[in-house]
Amino acid sequence: EVQLVESGGGLVQPGGSLRLSCAASGFTFSSHWMHWVRQAPGKGLVWVLRISTDGSGTTYADSVKGRFTISRDNAKNTLYLQMNSLRAEDTAVYYCVRGIKGTSVAFDIWGQGTMVTVSS
Amino acid sequence: QSALTQPRSVSGSPGQSVTISCTGTSSDVGAYNYVSWYQQHPGKAPKFMIYDVSKRPSGVPDRFSGSKSGNTASLTISGLQAEDEADYYCHSYAGSYTFGVFGGGTKLTVL
């Protein structure tokens, strides 16, 4: 079964750090771009970052540039999100998402999400 | 990058058809045929419904269809069923630097 399982969410104080992980299974992880998409409570989806198949290319939304870092370990089939200098507005469910294979742009597999709460 | 514009809510009766619009700009929806749609039930992760404007992934009923005209994409759901009640989000590619943007989401109510 194709699956993405996030972990690492929790409560953190403003200015703090958190590292999310996403374990992939059931597909060739190294063949897909991977993304993080977040959703604040009661709000819509927001794309945050993406990483290329080999980890050499990344793209960040302006709201997280300089604070968040996306990385991957293809040997471990795992995607990571290092979040530093966290702010209250970063509070959201963070979804690990698989990019569709090929030349198209879409998100075909979503994890169940992990909640990050930034509050004192 | 501003969010794509979707109606906050739409509604329809079982068996009817509804269309959800998704308006962007000439830099995103109007520039690329990479519009996708996602269905999200309360408390659940989004589900992939449409890609490349009008293509359906395997397993998605043909009651769901997509189209695009200029800077506006649309999702049409025909033969509405109770289980279609959910939030729907569009997404468009916007180039390699900004990558892409979601719409604000539309709540579909099946009356």
pLDDT at position A51 is: 96
Is A44 close to B47, i.e. CB distance below 8 A?
no
Q: Which residues of B touch A44 (CB under 8 A)?
A: 3, 89, 102-105
Q: What is the pLDDT along chain B (111 residues), one digit of tens a residue?
A: 688 999 999 999 999 999 999 999 999 999 999 999 999 999 999 999 999 999 999 999 999 999 999 999 999 999 999 999 999 999 999 988 888 999 999 999 999
Mutate: best of A32, A33, A38, A45, partner B, most B CBs <10 A: A45
What is the bridge-based pairing of β-strands B106-110 and B9-12?
A: parallel
Q: Which regions in chain A score pLDDT beneath 70? A: none
The residue written with tokens 């719409």 in the block is: B103
Reading the block at residue B33, the tokens are: 């045929």
Mutate: best of B2, B36, B49, partner A, most A CBs <10 A: B36
Give the span between the Cα atoms of A36 and A9, in whole angstroms: 13
- Interface check B37 vs A, CB under 8 A: no
DSSP summary character for residue B51: B
- Interface check B68 vs A, CB under 8 A: no
Give the span between the Cα atoms of A33 and A83, in whole angstroms: 20
Q: Are B30 and B6 in contact (CB under 8 A)?
A: no
User: How many Cβ pairs closer than 8 A exist between chain A and B?
Assistant: 61
Amino acid residing at B15? G
pLDDT at position B2 is: 81
Is B48 close to A50, i.e. CB distance below 8 A?
no
Residue among B83, B77, B108, B91 nearest B8 (CA): B108
Is A110 close to B47, i.e. CB distance below 8 A?
yes
**Dihedral over alpha carbons B107, A60, A54, B33 (to 10 degrees):** 50
DSSP summary character for residue B4: B
To the nearest whole Å, the CA of B106 is away from the closest chain A CA by 9
Q: Are A94 and A6 in contact (CB under 8 A)?
A: yes
Q: Are A93 and A38 in contact (CB under 8 A)?
A: yes
Angle at B43 between CA B80 and CA B93, to 5 degrees: 75
To the nearest whole Å, the CA of A93 is away from the closest chain B CA by 10
Nearest Cα residue in chain B from A100: B51
Q: Tell me the β-bridge partners of A109.
A: A98
Q: Are A4 and A111 in contact (CB under 8 A)?
A: yes
To the nearest whole Å, the CA of A43 is away from the closest chain B CA by 8
Q: How confident is the model over A40-69, as pLDDT tens digits?
A: 999 999 999 999 999 999 999 999 999 999
Amino acid residing at B108? L
Q: How far apart are the first and last CA of chain A?
A: 39
Which residues 2-21 in chain B show a CB within 8 A of chain A? Answer: 3
Other CB atoms closer than 10 Å to residue A94's CB: what's the count? 24
